[in-house]
Amino acid sequence: MATSLKVGIIGLGGIAHTHMPGWQESPYTEVIGACDISETAAETFGKRWDVARVTTTAADLINDPDIDIIDICTPNNYHALLAIAAMEAGKHVLCEKPLAPLPADIRTMIDARDRTGKLLMTAQHFRFGGTAKAMKAELSSGVLGHVYHARSWMLRRAASPVRPGFILKEQASGGPCIDIGVHILDLTLWMMGNPKPIAVTGVARTELAHHPGAFSIWGGAIPQQFNVEDFAAAFVRFENGATLMLEVSWLLHHNIPVEDTQIWLYGTDAGAHWPKCEIYSTNYETQQHYTKTLQLTKDIREPHAQECIEFAEAIVNGAPSPVPAEESLQVMTILDGVYRSQISGGEVRLD
């Protein structure tokens, strides 16, 4: 099929490179423009991916009438302004996570989406992996009954980013809470069926980043200007009575080589674990326990690429966003609540 959608990418760090295979493999898309505030980064990206039109000015791509999709891969604090400008210029928007650090900004983005009729999607790539898709399909059958409690965490040992876009509050707004917390929380809520959150009690603290000799296996010494949290945890209550315990960290004394990511779901009929993709049930008549392991768990392709392909397909087919912005608003309402709870020292109402 002939290419029908032209793509412009803004922000050319590592994530933009993970998106490119998807845009190239999709039968519907072609990347024709790339932008970064670093001229060197823009030129390097253009040469690597054979993108002729590179610029250091985002407006060049946003206002380009040939471009149909803007892919935003900048640090967090620039997402909302760029996404709103792009939608108002008639572009569909795929935006890296978090959709925006503040719930109010996400609501403004949703308003722009509704006003312009353009598709808006957060690049929550965990949803597009084979294990996540298999688990979601199984859970959608109702196998767990009422999910009344969940536990999830994404914990790293000495594995913090060191670039300014991640560790400076003025660019990122926060640390692991909204960098990796947004991944595991989005996936957990999705698998729970996105119940409405009503309250959160949380902490977001810097415990190890400024320790003498603190380092990251991904970048050496932790820069002194690091001014976001390195650990966050939360207890969330939902309108349907369910609860969730969440933990995230970039730097933790935890018995793992690099990263430990897990979701446990507890229902009235069964329990589940991801990424093992196991369902745990009990026969109360025979008093026997059973474990079912899902088999269809292989990735179709790398999830960052798959999300781009499915976003383009949704545009072509007139389908809804694969990751509705309203669900991203739920996620960020909770994570923003964690920061507010840290400040207040108590539970924060979200409703």
Q: DSSP code of 222?
A: P
Report CA Rg, the chain: 21
User: Measured between alpha carbons, how far is 34 from 7 in angstroms, rounded to an integer?
Assistant: 9
Q: What is the mean pLDDT of residues 19-27?
A: 97
Please tell me whether residue 263 adopts helix, strand or coil conformation: strand
* CB contact at 8 A, 130 and 251: no
Fold that domain 128-301+332-349 belongs to in CATH: Dihydrodipicolinate Reductase; domain 2 (3.30.360)
Hunting for tokens 């072509």 — which residue is that?
A: 316
Which residues of the chain are in CATH 3.40.50.720 domains? 5-124
* Domain span(s) for CATH 3.30.360.10 in the chain: 128-301+332-349
Q: Tell me the pLDDT tens digit for each residue of 183-216.
A: 999 999 999 999 999 999 999 999 999 999 999 9
pLDDT (0 to 100) of residue 246: 98
- pLDDT of residue 100 exceeding 70, the answer is yes
CATH class of 5-124: alpha beta
Q: Indicate whether 178 pLDDT > 50.
A: yes
Percent of the residues in the chain that have a pLDDT greater than 70, as a whole number: 99
Q: What value does the mean pLDDT take over residues 303-328?
A: 98
- Around Cβ 343, how many Cβ atoms within 10 Å? 9
Has residue 7 got a pLDDT over 70? yes
Least confident residue range of 1-5, 33-37, 73-77, 258-262: 1-5
pLDDT (0 to 100) of residue 351:
85
Q: What integer pLDDT is reported at residue 3 of this predicted model?
A: 62
State the DSSP H helix or E strand holding residue 157, giving kind and residue range, or none if neither. Answer: none
